Amino acid sequence: MTPLLSVENLKTYFRTYRGLVKAVDGVSFDINEKEIIGLVGESGCGKSVSMLSILQLISNPPGEIVSGRVMFDGQDLLQYKSKSDAMSAIRGAKIAMIFQEPMTSLNPVLTIGRQLTESLEIHLNMTPQTAQERAIELLRMIGIPDAHNRLDAYPHQFSGGMRQRVMIAIAISCNPKILIADEPTTAVDVTTQAQLLELMQDMVNRFDTSLVIVTHNLGVVARYAERIYVMYSGRIVESGLADDIFLNPRHPYTIGLLKCVPQLGETRQERKLVPIKGLPPNLINMPTNCAFLPRCDRARDICRQQLWPPLELVGGQHYVACFREIMEKP
């Protein structure tokens, strides 16, 4: 089965006064149809940039997609010009995106109804009448009571959780093939997080959409994602099915991440939470060997002598970029 969207060797660099920032440095991943994918990594590891690169939403300057291919529907999306009509026809209609901040992602001067109907009118050529009916239907689906009257409300009359639901409704409104949720639950409280994730799962099931959840919260992806990609300083260090990652993590970074998450039913005596020592490397001055090396407690001589370890298959769909694992490959 060919994947719905396939990103190959994507490199997005930012030219800053202090030097070249390799925010995304050779990232490849696939998204299959109707699949929920988790993209995990700490702040500044290039998760958001790689997602924005897919839709060419990186502002240039300072950002530039240096190389790579984004294959979607037999077309390389990076061949389109960022401001071309062809690209605009993909955005929202085929690949939609939700952002982190629900408080600022809706335009404060336009009504909820207008913001919902707008993309319907653009992408699906609906008349204002049918778009309005569709908007009411969408508001009902995301659980906004009194949907008919709420169309005339402005974003400031909605709570953060409600706004993020509206964002989900807008994103899903044109029936996209892929929904990218860029840290959709970071800015809302835990109860709302759960509701939003349930809602997203419900919506993508209903519309046969693939979902990419970008997050630094392993708990979020644990429950929903089928496959997980772990990113570290601009590269993917481990990928595999959710079970592979959670039950059998192979990369020291993934292991470290899981060690610092508390688990239910654990007492303090049983296990202490272990933080990952040190800080992520400065992306301007990247080491040529494994970027995780300075923080790695399992480093070996080969790690210091060789360049970045390549991502290699270690069984099933499980890939790891770590010399230790590659050498001990079963």
Partner 1 sequence: MTNDANDDTQPVDIAKWSETAPRYSEIKRMISVFVGRPLPVIGLVIIVLLILVAIFAPLLAPDPPNQMEIINKLQQPSSEHWLGTDSLGRDTLSRIIFGSRTSLIIGISVTAISSIIGIVLGLLAAYFGGAIYHIIMRFMDALMAFPMLLLALLVASLLGAGMLNIIIALGIGMIAAPCRLMCGVVMSVKQNDYVLSARAMGMSNLRIMFQEILPNAFPPLLVLMTIGIGAVILAEAGLSFLGIGITPPTATWGGMVNDGYKFIMTNPVLAISPGVAIMLVVFGFNMLGDGLRDALDPKLRGVI
Interface positions with partner 1 (CB under 8 A): 55, 57, 61, 83, 85, 87-93, 96-97, 99-101, 104-110, 118-119, 122-123, 140, 143, 145-146, 149, 157, 167, 170-171, 195, 198-199, 202
Minimum separation from the CB atom of position 309 to partner 1 (A): 34
Shorter beta-carbon distance to partner 1: residue 158 or 253: 158
Shorter beta-carbon distance to partner 1: residue 164 or 239: 164
Distance CA 23, CA 307 (A): 18
What value does the CA radius of gyration of the chain take, rounded to a whole number of Å?
21
Facing residues of 231 across strands?
236
3-state helix, strand, coil in the chain (%, to 5): 35, 25, 40
Minimum separation from the CB atom of position 163 to partner 1 (A): 11
Is there a contact between 285 and 274 (Cβ–Cβ < 8 Å)? Answer: no
Positions of E strands within the chain: 5-16, 19-31, 36-40, 63-72, 75-76, 95-98, 178-182, 210-215, 227-232, 235-241, 312-313, 319-320
DSSP label at 317?
T
Shorter beta-carbon distance to partner 1: residue 148 or 304: 148
Facing residues of 182 across strands?
214
Shorter beta-carbon distance to partner 1: residue 92 or 240: 92
Minimum separation from the CB atom of position 225 to partner 1 (A): 18
Shorter beta-carbon distance to partner 1: residue 197 or 228: 197
Minimum separation from the CB atom of position 106 to partner 1 (A): 6
Minimum separation from the CB atom of position 191 to partner 1 (A): 9
Collapsing DSSP to helix, strand or coil, 239 comes out as strand
